[in-house]
Amino acid sequence: MAVRWRMLSPGVQKLLMSNSASHYIDSVEGLREACSGWQQLAFVALDTEFMRSDTYFAELGLIQLNVDSKLLLVDPLVPGMAEELAPIMTSPDVVKLLHSGSEDLQILHQYLGSKVGPIFDTQIAAAFCGFGFSTSYRSLVEQICEVQLAKGQTRSDWLQRPLAAAQLNYAAEDVAYLPALFDELNTRLRGSDKLGWVEAECAGLAEEAISAVDPEQAYKRISRAWQLPAKNLFALQRLAQWREYTAIERNRPRNWVLKDRQLWSLAEKLPAQAAELSAVGELSAAQKRRYGETLLELIESVLNADTSAYPQAIAEPPGKSYAEIGKQLRALVLACADELQVAPEMLARKKDLEYLMQTHASSGSAQLPPSLNGWRQQLLGERLRERVNRYFEQQVIGNGN
């Protein structure tokens, strides 16, 4: 049932009706005054606006807060704001409401130097309440609050000053309705196992936000890495590690250094001298001038390395022999999701099913990925694992072996 206008508190109604509902905060003293008494609150709503078009690290442009029905637009570029915000963002007694908050949490961790939490992500909660997977804030507000939000401003320059009125209005709306969404979703979840599942997912999201990228593992994200032999895979690992450190040092997107396909081509061909490097057609003249010597030195170190340094082989994606069991696993996930009225992606993802099949292919026995442990293990994980193992046991029996 939708949360209709009359169900909103008079204070929230007044804020949503007023063109001057939001307050732009550009001083530490103003933030301190606006947030006074936050320690007594059960929750604050939170969002951010940022830029990430030409940098490795996101550049924070605005922090939006809904604190006791006050819509606050906080300028994070003002010195001292991070220190003033940190107690609110990290207090274990005040829940932070967000929608699709993974990037917000990462950026705030970078800005504050501390983990934000505890959190309640309304997108996660919506997926457990029958609204579908990855439902947008705009769609959820329309379905629950029966309000249509205006589009626009997503491509705005959030680092410009002053920010335009249209930007500020758009930013304020992103936290104005979060308390109403939280109230409705929490009501639907209360008294069922789903509330515990949502809390576990939100806690996991908060932990992921503070997990630094490990440059040594960056090669695993590159398509077709599994196709490379051991030495070439080691080269890909070292190349991807170098690219990550270079991108971080220059604060530029990693693909501005070298693209994935360029790294893969270098790892496949292993050029040992400048003439061979020139034969790698994917590299531009500018890239060869800037990085050529470094790349050749790195590849030389790979060619001279002991095999004990090679990384573990990456499992090949499941082949045709796993097509039928793959369909059975997907059907099992869909049936369980339908019974529980949750988005199937919240129970198991494609990569989880592939992991089960890959571990069976490599060891003869399917193993659960870490993501299917916890509450998912008893609910569905063990059933999926047993289905894979039983399927191939029956294949062996059917073949008379």
Question: Which residues are known catalytic residues?
Answer: 47, 49, 104, 170, 174
Longest dimension (CA), the chain: 79
Cα separation, 3 vs 380, whole angstroms = 32
Distances (CA, A) of 91 to 33, 84, 112, 175: 18, 12, 13, 19
Q: Do residues 72 and 12 touch, judged by C-beta distance below 8 A?
A: no
Cα separation, 54 vs 229, whole angstroms = 34
Angle at 66 between CA 60 and CA 72, to 5 degrees: 60
Q: Which residues contact 6 (CB under 8 A, 6 or more apart)?
A: none
Q: Do residues 99 and 110 touch, judged by C-beta distance below 8 A?
A: no
Q: How far is CA 170 from the centre of its chain?
A: 23
How many helices and strands (H and E) does the chain possess? Answer: 18, 6
Token readout for 330 is 């997907």
Containing 60, the helix (H) or strand (E) segment is strand 59-67
